[in-house]
Amino acid sequence: MMGLITRSRVKSPWIVHYCCGGCNGCDIEILACLTPLYDVERFGMLNIGNPKHADILVVTGPVNNRNARVLKTLYDQIPNPKVVMAVGTCASSGGVFHNCYNTLGGIDKVIPVDVYIPGCAVRPEAIIDGVVLALDKLNLKKRTKVG
């Protein structure tokens, strides 16, 4: 049963996507992955709007004081095992917003990040590569022990 679950986990990554306030370039590239050209549903990937159903949190843009709380809440609402992908240079390190008074920098200032995908904007191929990396890490994660 456990083998079945670990095998299924890498075949069915469901993604919840959150934009921390970047320029929308990376968001458009993420959506491009869903189009017939890249068709990530081939790999069982679905864009799920609901953190409670998701496995992978995909974040774009630099985190700021206003949305750090939202990002943390979204992260907490995803059931374990989960992985976080920082998509784009802004989400990875703050990018062009580095040292701006209104941003905190990369999203790893707020939540633990498993995969960084640099690029401005990232290419869809890089995002798919990143998801494959994230899937390798997903099975290393543990479920929360309850009771």
Partner 1 sequence: MSSGELVLPLVAFLLAPVAGGLLCGIDRRLTARMQGRIGPPILQPFYDFFKLWGKDTLVTTRENLVWAWGYLLLTMVAVFMFFFQQDLLIIFFVLAFAGACLIFGAFSVRSPYSHLGANREILQMLAYEPILLLAAVAIFLKTGTFMITGVFEFGEPLLPYLPLAFVAVLVALGIKMRKSPFDIAASEHAHQEIVRGVYTEYSGRHLALIKLTHWFEIVLILGFIALFWAQPLWIGVVLALGMFVLELLIDNISARLRWAWMLGVSWVVGVGFIMANMVLIYLAGGAIRV
Q: Which residues bind partner 1 (CB under 8 A)?
A: 2, 4-9, 11-12, 14, 36, 39, 41-44, 46-50, 52-53, 55, 77, 79-81, 143-144, 146
Contact between 54 and 89 (Cβ < 8 Å): no
Q: Which is nearer to partner 1, 30 or 63 (CB)?
A: 30
Residues facing residue 57 across a β-bridge: 16, 84
Q: Which is nearer to partner 1, 106 or 114 (CB)?
A: 114
Contact between 47 and 27 (Cβ < 8 Å): no
Contact between 76 and 110 (Cβ < 8 Å): no
Considering the complex, what minimum distance in angstroms separates the CB of residue 138 from partner 1?
A: 10
Considering the complex, what minimum distance in angstroms separates the CB of residue 49 from partner 1?
A: 4
Considering the complex, what minimum distance in angstroms separates the CB of residue 104 from partner 1?
A: 27
Q: Which is nearer to partner 1, 53 or 66 (CB)?
A: 53
Beta strand 103-105 with 63-64: parallel, antiparallel or unpaired?
antiparallel
Q: Which is nearer to partner 1, 53 or 98 (CB)?
A: 53
Report DSSP letters for 82-114, one per residue: -EEEEESHHHHH-GGGTT-TTEEESGGGTS--S
Considering the complex, what minimum distance in angstroms separates the CB of residue 5 from partner 1?
A: 3
